[in-house]
Amino acid sequence: MKLLFAPLEGITNFVYRNTHNEMFGHLDEYYSPFITPSEDDKVNRKGLNDIIPENNPNIVIKPQVLTNSAEAFLKFTEKLMNVGYDEVNLNFGCPSQTVVKKGKGSGILKDPDKVEELLYKVFEEKPMKISVKTRTGFLDGREMDKLMEIYNKYPIELLIIHPRTRSDFYNGVPDLEVFKKAFYSSKNPVCYNGNIDTVEDYERIKNMFPELDCMMLGRGLIRNPALPRYIRGGKNITTEEIVAFSKCLADNYQATLRSETFTLNKLKEVWMYMIQNYPTEKKIFKTIRKANKLAEFIGAIEALPELN
């Protein structure tokens, strides 16, 4: 099974990715948080810095683009090719309101004609391999039937399906019946994404879809950085490893950001997920959230009990 690391905006930047790969690895590819190009050819420098090869040694990166403009997309692919990339991921999945109201991310799914127009234009030129990350509709999973008709018209490198609609956001559970229909009707390779939080979740999806050969891990992987290793038959995460990983992240963020405050903010974002390993440790989580110094933060996580 091919295992991919889903992008999480604000968390899975190059510092996190490199630290994760060094300490845990067992992933085939890391997808970068989306970059939003504009038609006037302006691109966020921070976004570009996140994907340049020198900041991502020893790992396979797949850049992700968020746009509803074929022109902006094609201009940006030129920049990607100039630094050595031959594949890009197009985001039709982000459910954020600020993104959706601009008709981007899962917002474009509200109008399948716009999806088709965008794909027609980018595949007409197809300067590089293109994968797509999609939800199963805007309001209703039945919208996926129309979307699959569109996706099947184009040679998509990989169709990553998160079987929730935009209106679901991250609530409830993925609709596996909608995924099943899309998976077996797809003319392109498919990757499953959604709620793979444990080895049991992985095995359940694998058993339901024995022909599936690709899964993307997201929030569950932030919670448990050793999840790919565990899936592949290695040991599960320990508190000692979680503490060591957090300290390494702190050192690497300090070296890059040169700010204790910014480093703390980054660590706290990660720990919104990692603390889920310790559901009864409310007092320690409160200390983590309120910490104003790295030493206070590290002291709090060092007090965590060993995992069962």
Same domain, 45 and 187: yes
Going 257 to 262 to 264 to 265, the CA torsion angle's sign is negative
Determine the pLDDT at residue 43.
63
Same domain, 191 and 250: no
Does 197 reside within a domain? Answer: yes
Does 168 reside within a domain? Answer: yes
- Residue 151 burial (C-beta neighbours within 10 Å; 0-12, 13-18, 19+): buried
Number of separate domains in the chain: 2
Determine the pLDDT at residue 293.
96
Q: What angle do CA 191, 141, 100 make, to 5 degrees?
A: 85
Q: Which of the listed residues 201, 231, 261 is the one where a domain comes to its end?
A: 231
Q: Which of the listed residues 231, 249, 276 is the one where a domain comes to its end?
A: 231
Which residues, other chains included, contact 21 with Cβ-Cβ below 8 Å and sequence gap of 6+?
27, 30, 58, 59
Same domain, 128 and 185: yes
Same domain, 290 and 262: yes
Does 108 reside within a domain? Answer: yes
Same domain, 169 and 290: no
Same domain, 113 and 206: yes
Q: Are 63 and 32 in contact (CB under 8 A)?
A: yes
Q: What's the pTM?
A: 0.95
Q: Which of the listed residues 199, 231, 263 is the one where a domain comes to its end?
A: 231
Q: Which pair of structure tokens corresponds to residue 190?
A: 């498919």
- Nearest by Cα to 32 from 7, 4, 3: 7
Does 190 reside within a domain? Answer: yes
Determine the pLDDT at residue 38.
72
Same domain, 276 and 210: no
Same domain, 179 and 159: yes
Q: What is the CA radius of gyration of the chain?
A: 20
Determine the pLDDT at residue 90.
98
Determine the pLDDT at residue 37.
86
Parent domain of 271: 239-302
Mean pLDDT by 10 residues, the chain (308 residues): 96 97 97 85 73 93 96 92 94 95 96 97 95 97 97 98 95 96 98 97 98 98 98 97 98 96 97 96 95 96 93
* Cα–Cα distance list, 119 to 124, 150, 156, 215, 278 (Å): 8, 9, 10, 24, 44
Same domain, 105 and 222: yes
> Residue 301, CB half-sphere, CA atoms under 13 Å: how many?
29
Determine the pLDDT at residue 103.
95
Determine the pLDDT at residue 167.
94
